[in-house]
Structure 1
Amino acid sequence: MREIHAPGARRPARITPKSMGVLRVLADNPGRVVTREALLAAVWPDTMPTNDVVTQAITQLRKAFGESTEGPRYIETIAKSGYRLLVDVEWLSHEEGEPRPVGAGSPEVEIDEAPVKENAADNVAASTAAPAARQALLFRRWAWGIGLGVLAIGCVAAALWWSGLKRPQVGAQDEMTALLPAPRPYRLITSAPGFELAPTLSPDGSQVAYLSSMTEELAGTAILVQTTEPAQPRTLTFPPEGAWDTNPEWSPNGREIAFLRRSPGEDCRIMAVQASGGEPRVLGGCDPHNRPSFDWTPDGNGLVFSSPLSGDGEPGLRLLDLATGRWRSIEYGASAEDVDTAPRFSPDGKWIAFVRNTPLGDLWRIPSKGGKAERLTHQRAELRGWDWTPDGEAIVFGRRVDSHTRLYRLDLSDRAVIDLGIEDAQAPAIAAQANQLAFVQRKPQFGLYRIGDGGEGERARPSQRLFPSTGRDSLPSVAPDGRQIAFTSDRSGEFSLWWADMERPASLRLIEGIRPESRHLPAWSPDSGRLLIVGTDARGHYGLHELEPTSGQLRPLPVPVPREDLLFATYLPNPDHVLVVAGKGDGQQLVLFDRRAIPWRRLASIDGVSFALPDPTQGRVLFTRLARDGLWQSDLGLAAASIRQVDSRRPASQRYRTWTVTEDGQIEYLEQLPGCYVSLRHIGIGRAHAPPRCLEPTHLSTINGFSAHARDRVTYVSMAVVDGSDIGFLSLDPVPTESGGGFW
């Protein structure tokens, strides 16, 4: 029945099978911290959920236990770690079909599910006691003497949870421990200061090449090579002044490493260098305003390249023949709205897989000689690198979840997605002939900074950190009044929304009842009284919400967009109108809604939009596109005839969130320049050639958004307090288990 009988409750509370699974794992580890990753792996073993599902399960358990701020607490949140059951657990056996008596005032949980063993010892009850009252919380499992039909109704979800797990005959507590997979061992093979990025493995997995830089933006990078044991690297390339070497890719025969030598905005060359060292050779040219991605063809005679972002040439993937230097488009129905990046040939050469419509994209594949494109995932996620397994039967990819990135494995046979359990990992690279994987591990700490603008041609005033913590603070959104600020942070242990009146620092508080998604800043209303937030509320409803931060009142809004497609929303000067960025098929669109009607009435739309903001001062909407660099504008009604380009180069398509519009109509773009990690540039007619202003020379900023207040001449930016990355390395060989082995 999955019911919890809490002290003082008039009736038992029924919980979901997943909440029951979370409770079982916590009960098997009383007093010990169970990480969110362990809970995800145990209760959601073959899916790719966000951390929201754990939060929802914990919230349901707390409500079922009757927790309150004044009463006893049963589950503790451990900041940046996980959860801990605060009470003792006693496992009680009983005769089949004879429930044990429950002590007065004790919370009681009843589980109605199919037995997973014939051993009667597996039917258990657990009791826990609050620290103050030492009350007993009993978990009872009965072998009900009823037909299989009734059992199927009560336990289908539990059966799905347990399906596929082959377990030996063990005791109740040992069985629960078996749900927690052993951590997959890995080691860090680099430890230099700064950033080690973009690893690529030799075919036999014995060597790794990667980029080394003091910045994440790869300014002045060179390619280094070392063995896959911790060892001193050797520098393989020596770019000239002002050039960056990026995108290393090991050749199929293991003899060469192809790469790009870029002088941004000036020159781009495709080059290759012997893995043993020497002078690089030029393979071809590339767009200096673009940053293409590529892979070797299986025979080593060519390269497959990503879609062009400049708008020139045919859309879709292209092949470069190294013998002739000729380019050829691959025919598979790609349109001008499709941005296909990170192409890679399958180990057998039959397929090319790629990411479509990054930065919120999915994995696709096509036959290597062309043909219909097939979608492999339906995540609309921020993917951070991917690679094939050597057998070609799976793909390993990195994905951003809240403020973290993780590695997942996609099985191509059944499309099951498995969390590999590696925190803060991205950019996986797998050896073509060995079960060896390299990846980038980055564990940054970000803080919010207020930076005063010194004016045109002047250096910015010193930055001031707001609300210090050891968490990851991001997405700072300042209200039009210049006093209030909302931001996201994991400083409480969970990714949450925070609010403060900056004139009263003690007002800083967590906004209960909403878990924001991590892509976009919350959007303030023109009167600074409300916020539009896309996220999940306390009832587990994902959608668009309107929040009054001073009171904490939150209400869902009936936007007629499938919740999996909802990305961002913002107010317009007309209070009856709302702009929404939402998924549409394989891409995205900007939609104008009239909120007076229920459901909201759709007024107009623009396809291929990645992000948009209103500019009330000049009566326009500014937006970026998925498939192009640059900035566009339309009138407030999104009329097609009003659309025109504002800037052809900025923002770069991969930095589509690093721009904002101030209340006086200024368009500000945040970028990184040589000698200045955080630089602010004006975009717009008459100001495009104004020199950028250096806000911060030595700290990196996030690329998922910032805000500025023109009247106060202040910019609010999330910048790294502690940052850097290293290369990790692990084996993908089967991990021995008690049941005789298993893969991953």
Structure 2
Amino acid sequence: MALQYWVGDFFVDLSRNQITRNGQSRTIPPKALAVLTYLAKHQRKVVSHDDLLTEVWPNTVVTPNTLQRSIAQLRKALGEDRKLQSYIRTHAKQGYSLECDIVWEDDYSAKKGGTEPQEKAISPESQVNRKPKQPDHQSQVFKPSRYLVSSIVGLVLLGFIGFKFYTPKHTSQLIFDRLQAVTATDRKEFAPTYSPDGQYILFHRYLDKLCVNKIWARNIHSQKETQLTPDWGTYGRHTLSPDGKTLVFIAAEDCTKPLTQNVCYDLVSLDFQKALVGQPSANVLMRCKNSAISNPVWINDNNLAILQKVSRRWRLINYSVNNNTSRVLYDLEDGNLVYFDYSKSEDIIAVISNHQDGQLYIDMLDSSGQVLSSHPVDYPDEIPEHMRISPNFSPLNERLIFSTGRRFFSLSYDGKVNKLNLPLDQPASSPYFHPDGQRALLIKGRYDSDIASIPLSQPEAISMPSEADVSKIYPSTTRSILEDDDGIFQPNGNLIAFTSRRSGDDQVWITDGRDLQQLSQFPMDTNIYGMNWSADGQSILVNANKSLTQIYLDGSIKNFSLAHPVNRQFQWDSVNNTVLLSLTIKGITKFAEVYLEGPEVKVINEKQVNWAQRSEDGRLIYLDHMNRFWQPGPAEDQLIEKLALQGSEKRFVLKENVIYSINRDNQLWSYDLKTDNFNPIREMHKDIDYLTDINQESLLITYVVSAKKEVTELFLRE
């Protein structure tokens, strides 16, 4: 095969990993060039994703996003307009094709008799200056008349004038002017929206003492705040009807006789005008005991679009308020829905979903559920390939906007992502735009948690006043004003590893009780979802941005390429090199054990598993979605009856065949798997987030110091 060839006007030199045009060379990753070369060998033919993956990455497990990144690198090097796709064309759910002329260097040399010195053949500058001639039947030069030239010049001038003075009002970019606070309390606020007339800001406020969320309205002009839901706790997003009269939200409450879930979900409507004057009148529209509902949004004809979770798969339904009936709007048989937003002006729905190929897609629907288009989300290098996003419609023409933390990006209807110039000092939510498109709401704030080491052998219970300062009862091991979490003891050592945002993003840190050291160097907007020490205490396996990385104490790293995003890392057995994980496979979360040398994935079950550990004697213990303890039995998994009411979201630790955990009544307890002995230990503070590790002398906990989130308003420059 020739090591050099032409793609249109671009000279490709595989020996140098370069693409050159007009004397300007760009170095390209070898795998990306291998993709281009394989497409060139099948010029103007559709090459499937599988064929490209097999050809370029043989005997290697990689995600389809790896191929997608190579395509993006090639398009950037070729200076390609992504919408026109003049070189590399995407064929939805099929593959790619190279739609241009290809001239191989050996063909060109053969035509010249093979007389040219080889040294010149490998010089990109000389190759560019002597691009092969066109075939003989195209070699005649067409000479336009001066009248035709004058006409073309005139058309160009007219086009320029028309573009300058008749450009549509849709803007191609947003210019941000300022960011200012809307709320400034010690409470947590979230889920902000505008009323349809733009006169009110509606948001949720979390009342720590009552442990419920309430919906509030704030008048934009008078700044007066009104609590709208005094008798209801809420869950998820709320929505106002287009006429501004009816507020709909989802209330969550404990199910009296739970069948498949701990809470029931009520779809509730409220008279907005009466609620503003302190006379709320609520009505339960729909109740779900065995399925979850989320994110209600008014669409047209007095209908609501709602996400509904049935058998662990989310689908989009249409609920008719007039008829009290529902029907499925959109469902993926081999995938899952993640998020959606609705544009009233265009009467279309944008759905973010996981498809069967493992990629994240943007699916555009009309309000009846008809699919208008479906494209994979083309992440740039700045965004981790498995990051989930929540884009909302924006003033930009055919583009939505989402946040990854401290950065904003736009997302086009065909899946193209572009960075917006608005760096933030703190993570913020995706913006929700005002009806006039000149301002937007977002949530900005910080979460402050600390790690404490507590003696395990404390003989008597501590008096634990409900309002006591948690930091005075449990002195911090690693105090900062930002989020510290996941403290774990080093095996056979004196270090504690933990995650912290003190440097701006989630990173792995270690401490010996006196000095601190940042061990990882993950990029901006990184999120860590679990980590474990190796048995020899010399490295840590980390799930950062849903991918696994092994970090050694000397700072060196080893990355593991899995075919599926990792939702949660539970436990790593470094001796056998296996890890217990929660994976997303075709959009569905599954509990699995992965052998990292392969890597080989063994799905244990398809339940939603909240936490899992293996005991020293090899028994698998896990918490299901209702925080019940299970262990394998001879025929099927069995509930641990003595722990029927002891599970909680605070996780558990398994050491020497003994389970340690904190129940919903804030009681620390232990359970011996061998003797079946349950032992209450002592009361713990209510603000403990997680029990993270235990050794012979102490246990490590994470507790909340403060959690401040506030509504802010982002103004655009006109």
TM-score by length of 1: 0.58
2:541 corresponds to which residue?
532
From 169, 184, 188, the counterpart of 1:195: 188
Deviations 1:236-291 (A, max 9, x none): 22116xx4576321222222211233333356432222322233231423336876
Moved more, 561-570 or 244-253: 561-570
The one-letter code sitting in structure 1 at the alignment partner of 2:514 is A
2: distance between equivalents of 1:688 and 1:426? 46
**Structure 1 residues 191-246: Cα deviation after superposition (integer angstroms, max 9, x where no partner):** 1221122112112322111122233x982332211123582312222116xx4576
* Distance of 2:212 and 2:462 partners within structure 1: 26
Q: Does 1:304 align with 2:305?
A: yes
Query: What does 1:237-316 correspond to in 2, within 5 Å?
Result: 237-239=229-231, 243-244=233-234, 247-266=237-256, 268-276=265-273, 277=275, 278-287=279-288, 292-299=293-300, 301-308=302-309, 311=311, 316=315
> What letter matches 2:441 in structure 1?
A
- Native 8 Å contact 1:526 1:573 kept in 2: yes
Q: CA deviation at 1:428?
A: 3.2
TM-score (norm 2): 0.60
Among residues 672, 679, 684, which one is paired with 1:695 in the alignment?
684
Distance 1:193 1:546, change over 3 A: closer
- Does the Cα contact within 8 Å between 1:219 and 1:244 map onto a contact in 2? no
Spell out, residue by residue over 1:550-572, the C-alpha distance to the aligned partner (whole angstroms, 9 max, x if none).
xx364526x45259769747423
Answering whether residue 530 of structure 2 is matched by residue 521 of structure 1, we say: yes
* Distance in 1 separating the partners of 2:387 and 2:460: 35
Pick the aligned partner of 2:453 from 442, 450, 462: 450
The match for 1:233 is 225
Q: Quick one: structure 1 residues 472 and 213, their matched pair in 2 at CA, closer, same or farther if it must change by over 3 Å?
A: closer
Aligned pairs (5 A) from 1:361-372:
362=360, 364-365=362-363, 367=365, 368-370=367-369
Compared with structure 1, are the counterparts of its residues 291 and 694 closer, same or farther at alpha carbon in structure 2 (3 Å cutoff)? farther
Q: Please tell me the residue identity of whatever aligns with 1:185.
A: R
Instruction: Give the 3 Å change call, closer, same or farther, for CA 303–496 of structure 1 in structure 2.
Output: same
- Alpha-carbon distance in structure 1 between the residues aligned to 2:430 and 2:255: 25
The structure-2 alpha-carbon separation of the partners of 1:640 and 1:630, relative to structure 1 and needing over 3 Å to count, comes to: farther
Aligned equivalents of 2:671, 2:590: Cα separation in 1: 23
Please give the secondary structure, in 1, of the residue aligned with 2:178.
coil
The alignment-based identity, stated in percent, is 13
2:205 to 202, 209, 212: 212
Aligned equivalent of 1:344: 341
- In structure 2, the residue matched to 1:24 is none
Q: Is the 8 A contact 1:307 1:341 kept in 2?
A: no
- Please report how far the alpha carbon of residue 669 of structure 1 lies from its aligned counterpart in structure 2 after TM superposition: 6.2
* Change in 2 beyond 3 A, CA 1:609/1:375: farther
CA contact (8 A) 2:566 2:584 kept: yes
Give the corresponding residue for 1:330. Answer: 329
CA distance in 2, matches of 1:364, 1:319: 19
Secondary structure in 1 aligned to 2:185? coil
State the secondary structure of the residue aligned to 1:571.
strand
The answer (yes or no) to whether the contact 1:210–1:223 under 8 Å persists in 2 is: yes
* Residue from 510, 520, 523 that aligns with 2:518: 510
Structure 1 residue identity aligned to 2:271 = Q
Q: Is the 8 A contact 1:515 1:535 kept in 2?
A: no
AA matched with 2:368: K
Secondary structure in 2 matching 1:725:
strand
Structure 1 residues 627-646: aligned runs within 5 Å: 629-630=626-627, 643=637
* Residues 381-396 of structure 1: pairs in structure 2 closer than 5 A: 383=388, 385-389=390-394, 393-396=398-401
Distance 1:605 1:363, change over 3 A: same
Q: Deviations over 1:645-671 (max 9, x none)?
A: 67999989xx6xx52332144556678
Indicate the residue corresponding to 1:319 in structure 2: 318
Asked whether the equivalents of residues 237 and 296 of structure 2 are also in contact (C-alpha less than 8 Å), the reply is no
Deviations 1:31-57 (A, max 9, x none): xxxxxxxxxxxxxxxxxx9xxxxxxxx
Once residues 551 and 618 of structure 2 are traced to their aligned partners in structure 1, the CA distance between those partners, rounded to angstroms, is 25
1:487 to 486, 498, 514: 498
Using the TM superposition, give the Cα deviation of residue 415 of structure 1 relative to its aligned residue in structure 2, in angstroms: 1.7
Deviation sequence 1:280-306 (CA, Å, 0-9, x none): 231423336876313234225232222
Which amino acid is the alignment partner of residue 328 of structure 2? S
Computing the radius of gyration from Cα coordinates, the structure with the larger value is 2
The 8 Å contact of residues 390 and 432 in structure 1, kept in 2 or not, is answered as no
Give 1:616 shift: 1.8
Question: Which residue of 457, 473, 478 maps to 2:484?
Answer: 473
CA distance in structure 2 between the aligned counterparts of 1:291 and 1:602, rounded to whole angstroms: 29
Distance change (3 Å), C-alpha of 1:316 and 1:669: farther
* 2:475 maps to which of 455, 464, 474: 464
CA 1:530/1:669 → structure 2, altered by over 3 Å: closer, same or farther?
Answer: same
Query: What count of residue pairs does the alignment treat as equivalent?
Result: 525
CA contact (8 A) 2:362 2:413 kept: no
Paired position in structure 2 for 1:707: 692
Q: Which residue of 1 aligns with 2:434?
A: 431
The equivalent residue for 2:83 is: none
Q: Distance in 1 between matches of 2:393 and 2:677?
A: 43
Cα 1:515–1:648 shift into 2, 3 Å: farther
Deviation digits for residues 54-100 of structure 1 (CA, Å, limit 9, x no counterpart): xxxxxxxxxxxxxxxxxxxxxxxxxxxxxxxxxxxxxxxxxxxxxxx
RMSD after superposition: 5.0
2:50 corresponds to: none
Cα shift readout 1:670-709 (whole Å, capped 9, x = no counterpart): 78x7xx9x77688999999999976334x574xxx65031
Asked if 1 retains the 8 angstrom alpha-carbon contact of 2:629 and 2:647, the reply is: no
Q: Which amino acid aligns with 1:448?
A: I
Aligned residue for 1:561, secondary structure, equals coil
**Could you tell me how far 1:365 is from its partner in structure 2?**
3.1
Separation in structure 2 between the aligned mates of residue 304 and residue 730 of structure 1, nearest angstrom? 27
Shift of 1:720: 3.9
- Structure 2 stretches of 5 or more lacking a match? 1-24, 30-64, 66-123, 132-172, 257-263, 465-469
Q: How does 1:3-402 map onto structure 2 within 5 Å?
A: 149=128, 184-215=177-208, 219-228=211-220, 231-239=223-231, 243-244=233-234, 247-266=237-256, 268-276=265-273, 277=275, 278-287=279-288, 292-299=293-300, 301-308=302-309, 311=311, 316-330=315-329, 332-334=331-333, 340=337, 342-347=339-344, 348-354=346-352, 362=360, 364-365=362-363, 367=365, 368-370=367-369, 374=374, 377=377, 383=388, 385-389=390-394, 393-400=398-405
| Contact 2:318/2:326, CA 8 A, preserved across alignment | yes
Mark the CA change 1:724 to 1:366 in structure 2 (over 3 Å): closer, same or farther: same
- Cα 1:146–1:715, aligned 2, differ >3 Å: closer, same or farther? closer
Q: State how far apart, in whole Å, the 1-side matches of 2:708 and 2:685 are.
A: 17
